[in-house]
A and B are shown apart, each in its own frame.
Chain A
Amino acid sequence: MNAVSRRDFIRKLAIGSAATAAAALIPGVSFGSWEALEAANSDIQWRKTPCRFCGVGCGLLVGLAEGRAVAVKGDPDSPVNKGLCCVKGYHSVQALYGKDRLQKAMVRKNGTLVEVPIQEALDLVANKLKETVDSHGKDAVSIYGSGQWTIPDGYVASKLFKGCIGTNNVEANARLCMASAVTGFLTSFGLDEPMGCYEDIDHADVFVTWGNNMAEMHPVLFSRMLDRRLKNPNTLIIDFATRTTRTSQAADKSMLFNPQTDLAVANAICYELIRNNWVNWDFVKKHVAFKEGKTDIGYGLEEKFQFNDEAKNSSLETYKKFLEDYTPAKVEKLSGVSADDIRYLASLYGDPKRKVVSFWCMGMNQHTRGTWINNLVYNIHLLTGKISEPGNSPFSLTGQPSACGTVREVGTLTNRLPHGVVTNVKDREMAAKIWNVPVENIPEKPTHHTVAMFRALDRGDIRFMWIQVTNPMVTMPKLSRYRDGALKEDRFIVVSDVYPTPTTDIADVILPSSMWIEREGMYGNSERRTQHFDQLVNPPGDCMSDTWQIIEVAKRLGYEKQFSWKYDTHIHDLWEEYRQFHDGPKHAMASYNDLKKRPGIQWPYVNGKETQWRYNAKYDPAADPKLGFDFYGKPDHRAWLWLRPYEPAAESPDESYPFWLNTGRVLEHWHTGSMTRRVPILHQAVPASYVEINPEDARRLGIRDGEKVRLVSRRGKIDITANIYGRATPTPGQVFVPFFDESLLINELTLDAYCPISKQPDYKKCAVRVEKITS
């Protein structure tokens, strides 16, 4: 390896110092071309890519030397993070080089996984797939992907399974993280994904975080909020949560609510808005319609639970009567949030001089009434008209780097197509035309959402499952049932991944995947920004991209015509084919060439211009200028305000199981830790999972910090270390466990109850007891 000369090193320091000083004095200033100057004098080449991890979609510059990714810095040209990164981003490239990286395909023979050439493994996958279809029918095969699939990955999966094989057994782990956000958008607006963008942060006066620990989960965006408050000292951050976190500590006010009662508090805010005449009546009269749906809708616990909602017309008068059950005084008793605090929160939303951004993520989405609570926060913004303009934004944040770009935009869910839904004949005809398949191939009925799909695998209705870039043997709720189901006789499980996990442990075939910048691809982040990345380094061993694995299997199944792309140009060709689905001002996407040149482009991208705020004719070319605000996703061009009540959780604490169990993430680890636990500094920062216990509860139970305790639910138990004075504190009667540690499978304890509308499970609420372990 060539040594960096001392002169080069000092030159780099000099440039870095000047740029850093400039950024401190003049935030947002960009010296992007400095890497061109550096590169001319340097052994390190800097290339752009979106970060591998969360849904913020930070732009990175990865430093490459001698065929390896050796450094990371934030891309100052990225409008997302403007050169900033979080701790995971800065160390992201190290996740490529773990010692036990999967490099060879493996096939289980006589119970043992043995290495085989990857072509042999792909042959076996194709043969097993065909054999299963022949013996048990098309709906006996399935693919389960991920919000970490690149857009090409998801596209070829959908094309193969829905268009060619002819099954709607296509699901992704975004069902577990974003489905309620999707149904929230669809029921309120008719179209998915936020109407605003991150630039709202630069205009807002008030931020309300709804059950979302943004300081750890979306740290770069949180930094932008803090920066806004530094520059504009009247800015307020209100944290509305079920536990005290770093977000609460940084906020101007922290409000703690009892789990599930966010539903009631949101309605109480609307009650106050109407009572105090803080409603933007002109906006409501012109742009809002009132709707009611079904109530007492269940929790999805029955084996073949089915639910379809129905929208009935309602009225303002009916809505006012409905809200009488949600006065602040009534809601205080239920929620634990004082009536004064509810009124205060309402006054912030209701103040016409303040612009308000509401941010949320898993707290509202992983919720047995997830669709409802999404609707209810939209109601607040609709009553006040604080929507679709800079600084006024109900903003549903995404967890994964491409839950939006892949799962939601490509439509890798049972009911979806890249444009529209399988139940719509015109949408099927469009897919058939673009995919070059007979329209009869594409089934018109959805089959199984994720939980139902794993139940079907357990029952034997599904016999073949291909799992890509996700770890369901750690993340499925009520885990033992679904792990046992996958291990049954006559089930064939294919896993494409980068490291060994509890999911590869149950595989019949393991395919080693190229990871992130080891292959070309695109991600789509929370603010509708599609970001392209080139292949920057070679993958190790026999690793192959998930896209190409699917293409190889498709060809073996006889679909050469539909998958005829050449390797060198397949991402370009595939993208240009895919974006045809989104033609038109409501969703047009940038060309491949445009994406390559820039650190991301927001859609709709119309006549070379990004649409930052949708539904507002001032910014959105798809909106009718005569209407001003045009919610064109709905047939009446109005946003729908839903009357959604409070209903309790599927399982609440009782005498035998007196604690709420909440699960989630920590800053340092991504999901199940398969990547971040192999980055030494991140692993050392948080080496193992733990259970957060409120100090009062700990004292009462005689539990000390660091002591091992037993958590028991109706489904399972684990022994785990107590954390009493850590970075976050749950309210009394609640415990919190991060799920990144595969040796402490907290989902053995959780419940597979879900929102009947979105089918998204609730990982935030079930009942456990905490036992002191006496040896």
Chain B
Amino acid sequence: MAICSYLVFPKPGTQPTLTQTLTGLPGCNVLPAENRDDVMVLVTETDTKEQESELQDTLKDIQDIQCLVLTFGEVQHTA
């Protein structure tokens, strides 16, 4: 199981579509900032190593993300 949080900095003008994209990913919760459109918090939860790896690859491929900053990570490896 892994729970991580990130600061996501969208490319200019892409916050609405990026929010939609991220919300649609399994295990992802998105919190856009209320008073800015250039940063949001992403919280991810996955149950297995494979799911986590797949999510990471998906996030890397999202073109609307300008910068992704890991701010918290808790990983529990299951046997």
Contacts and interface: CB of A to CB of B under 8 A. Distances in A.
Interface of A: 7, 10-11, 13-15, 17-19, 21-22, 25-26, 28-34, 37, 77
B3 A31 contact: no
A11 B74 CA distance: 9
Nearest to A21: B71
Interface string B42-79: 11010000000000000000000000010110100000
Nearest to A32: B34
B39 A26 contact: yes
B41 A22 contact: yes
A30 B40 CA distance: 10
Contacts of A10: 3, 74
Given A18-B7, A26-B33, A33-B34, 15 more contacts: A7-B1, A10-B74, A14-B3, A14-B43, A14-B71, A15-B41, A17-B5, A17-B72, A18-B43, A19-B41, A21-B69, A21-B71, A29-B39, A31-B33, A77-B34
B35 interface: yes
A38 to B, nearest CB: 10
11 contacts: A7-B3, A11-B3, A14-B74, A15-B5, A15-B41, A18-B5, A18-B7, A26-B36, A30-B35, A31-B34, A31-B41
Nearest to A13: B72
A37 B72 contact: no
Q: What are the 4 A-B residue pairs with the smallest beta carbon separation, nearest first?
A: A14-B5, A17-B72, A18-B5, A18-B41
Contacts of A21: 7, 69, 71
Contact of A22 (B1, B33, B72): B33
A31 B41 CA distance: 8
Contacts of A29: 33, 35-36, 39
B31 interface: yes
A18 B72 contact: yes
A479 to B, nearest CB: 49
Interface size class of B (residues with CB under 8 A): 20 to 34
Q: What does DSSP make chain B's interface, helix, strand, loop or mixed?
A: strand
Contacts of B19: none
A366 to B, nearest CB: 39
Given A21-B69, A22-B7, A13 B74 contact: yes
A11 B35 contact: no
B28 interface: no
Contacts of A37: 29, 31, 43
A31 B71 contact: no
Select the residue from B3, B6, B29, B72 with max chain A CB neighbours within 10 A. Answer: B72
Residue of A13, A17, A32 with most partner-chain B CB within 10 A: A17
Interface majority SS (helix, strand, loop, mixed), chain A? helix
Contacts of B36: 26, 29
A15 B34 contact: no
B4 interface: yes
B69 A28 contact: no
Interface of B: 1, 3-7, 29, 31, 33-36, 39, 41-43, 45, 69, 71-72, 74
**Of B33, B42, B74, most A-chain CB atoms within 10 Å:** B33
A11 B34 contact: no
Contacts of A22: 7, 33, 39, 41
A123 to B, nearest CB: 51
A30 B37 CA distance: 11
Nearest to B35: A30
A519 to B, nearest CB: 30
A34 B72 CA distance: 16
Contacts of B41: 15, 18-19, 22, 31, 34
Contacts of A14: 3-5, 43, 71-72, 74
B73 to A, nearest CB: 8
Contacts of B33: 22, 26, 29-31
Contacts of B42: 18
Given A10-B3, A21-B7, A30 B34 contact: yes
Contact of A11 (B6, B39, B43): B43
Nearest to B45: A11
The residue among B3, B4, B41, B42 with the most chain A CB atoms within 10 A of its own CB is: B41
A15 to B, nearest CB: 6
A33 B31 contact: yes
Nearest to B6: A18
Contacts of A15: 5, 31, 41, 43
A567 B5 CA distance: 46
A32 B36 CA distance: 12
Contacts of B71: 14, 17-18, 21
A587 to B, nearest CB: 29
A597 to B, nearest CB: 14
A30 B4 CA distance: 20
Contacts of A25: 7
A484 B34 CA distance: 57
Nearest to B42: A18
A33 B29 CA distance: 12
B65 to A, nearest CB: 15
A33 B31 CA distance: 7
A25 B71 CA distance: 12
Contacts of A18: 5-7, 41-43, 71-72
A302 B46 CA distance: 78
Contacts of B69: 21
A19 to B, nearest CB: 6
Nearest to B30: A37
Contacts of B74: 10, 13-14
A173 B53 CA distance: 64
A32 B33 CA distance: 8
B42 to A, nearest CB: 8
A706 B19 CA distance: 61
Nearest to A19: B41
A29 B40 CA distance: 10
A28 B34 CA distance: 10
A34 B33 CA distance: 9
Contacts of B1: 7
Nearest to A17: B72
Contacts of B35: 28-30
Contacts of B34: 30-33, 77
Nearest to B38: A26
A133 B58 CA distance: 80
A32 B31 CA distance: 9
Contacts of A28: 35
B4 to A, nearest CB: 7
Nearest to B4: A14
Contacts of B7: 18, 21-22, 25
Given A7-B3, A13-B74, A14-B72, A31 B31 contact: yes
Most chain B CB neighbours (cut-off 10 Å) among A14, A17, A77: A14
